[in-house]
Amino acid sequence: MQKEEFVSLWVGNINSPDELDKILKTSYTEDGDFIPSIFARSFDIERYDDAVREADFYEEPSNSLSRLLEGFSYDDVIIPEFISMYGGDVLTKNYNAVVLLYNFSYEGTKKMISISDTEFEFLGSVKYM
């Protein structure tokens, strides 16, 4: 699923920035083996480069793709690409969390997951370079 020049987008609803950090936290065993995040395991993602992951929590949810993506890396490219792919700027509901994996094109079958009382939805992958 790692693919240069592509970025994959998930949006979600979550209770706090601390909860987002917890869901995205990766770790290693004492032997140095990689332990994927709760987010990655939930979407059956074996591995991604955490150095090119961006995520944010918003106090006020929004259904605007441009508002949710503003300020992220390559936003001048990815906002119009995701709007074009999605067919408009307005999502079907409000979200307060965004996860972007750069140099990654998600091709898994899971499009929506629930973790405790939170949910994430995969919206798609676009070329950013």
Quick one: average pLDDT of 115-121?
A: 90
Position 115 scores a pLDDT of: 84
Any idea which of 33-37, 59-63, 86-90, 107-111 has the lowest mean pLDDT? 33-37
Nearest to 49 by CA among 41, 61, 40, 58: 40
| Token pair of 1 as six digits | 């699923």
Tokens of 65: 């793709």
Mean pLDDT of the chain: 94
- Report the amino acid identity of residue 108: G
pLDDT above 90 (res 116): no
Question: Which long-range CB contacts under 8 A does 76-84 form with residues at least 24 apart?
Answer: 77/128, 77/129, 78/7, 78/9, 78/126, 78/128, 81/126, 81/127, 81/128, 82/9, 82/123, 82/124, 82/126
Give the pLDDT confidence score for residue 1 in this predicted structure. 72
Identify the pLDDT of residue 52. 94
| pLDDT single digits (tens) 13-29 | 999 999 999 999 998 89
Could you report the per-residue pLDDT of 33-75, keeping only the tens digit for each?
889 999 999 999 988 888 899 999 999 999 999 999 999 999 9
- Written as one letter, the residue type at 107 is E
The count of domains in the chain is 1
pLDDT at 81 over 90: yes
Instruction: Give the model's pLDDT for residue 46.
Output: 86
3-state secondary structure of 95: strand
Scanning 13-86, the segments in alpha helix (DSSP H) are: 17-24, 38-42, 65-69, 75-86
Domain holding 7, by residue range, is: 2-127
